[in-house]
Amino acid sequence: MTQRPILPDASFLSQLMLALLAGLFLVGCQGAENDFAGYPTSGGPTTGPAAVLAFEAFFRGELNPAAKGTPPKQHEPLWKVSFPDARPIPLSSRLAHITPLHQQLWSRKTVLEHFGKMRNDDQVAALVFIKSEYCHTNGSRPCGVTTSAFECQSTPLLKHFKIYGAWIAANPYHESDEWIDWESRVKHEYKFEQGSGPTIIVLVPGNGQVIRIRARDLKLELPFLTKHDGRTPKLEEFLQQVLADTPETAVIPKVVRQQNQETGS
């Protein structure tokens, strides 16, 4: 009597594939951790305008004594300015306020499911940003500025949003065909537009509202950031409007609604 080989069932294979993909993501995160080597972890604020400026400056190379880049002068076109020592800001588990998207967490559906499970009482919506980091050496640096503003909470209003981010295109940790295919799906899912800085999307639970805007429209660029000493007034105006327009059917803590009424937003 011939014995038939015992084959794993579909559920086992599915779980194995998820484990392998999760392992690849963790390896990528571990590599990204190295990009934070040398960043000061004490001695200064971790949130607020000053922290935004310090975080952005570190990856621009300003804290590096050998850095050759200089802040753009007001009369110089941004395309003439370059920061050769600047580095992209990786999205990894090292970040305190940004959850990196990956192959199991990327679509609007999975983001909202994750938000529903992981949000805190202050958070009323998911904020997703998609960046390419092609701009990391130029004078405007919208990808670096946007990441710094979100990670270091340039405005207190950001505490009402759970932030998710994806770095697509030229990501050194996404060189496999699986990651390249994933990046293509992310671009399509969020209608990413190359050339205008990160694409920012707010997903409001409860009514399915999707609000989309470009980082450039919010002046999330280096000259504007330095002019306002690390503050992001256009972003703050946008977030105030989102909170004001969020319907009663969404999960909004009363304290948020009261704050909006007090500020007249």
CATH topology of domain 45-263: Glutaredoxin (3.40.30)
pLDDT given at position 172 = 87
pLDDT tens per residue, range 20-63: 444 444 444 444 556 666 666 555 678 999 999 999 999 998 75
Give the C-alpha distances (Å, rounded to integers) separating 249 from 114, 120, 255.
Answer: 19, 18, 15
pLDDT given at position 66 = 41
Q: How many residues does the chain have?
A: 265
pLDDT category, 196, cuts 50, 70, 90?
confident
- Out of 32-41, 106-115, 182-191, 235-244, which region has the weakest mean confidence (pLDDT)? 32-41
Is residue 147 exposed (0-12), middle (13-18) or buried (19+ Cβ within 10 Å)? buried
Q: Domain-by-domain residue ranges, the chain?
A: 45-263
pLDDT tens per residue, range 228-252: 999 999 999 999 999 998 865 455 4
- CA–CA distance, 233 with 236 (Å, rounded to integer): 5
26 or 115, higher pLDDT: 115
Place of tokens 């670096």: 144
Helix count (H) and strand count (E) of the chain?
Answer: 8, 5
Q: What is the pTM of this model?
A: 0.78
Task: Specify whether the CB–CB gap between 61 and 85 falls below 8 A.
Answer: yes
pLDDT value at 116 more than 60: yes
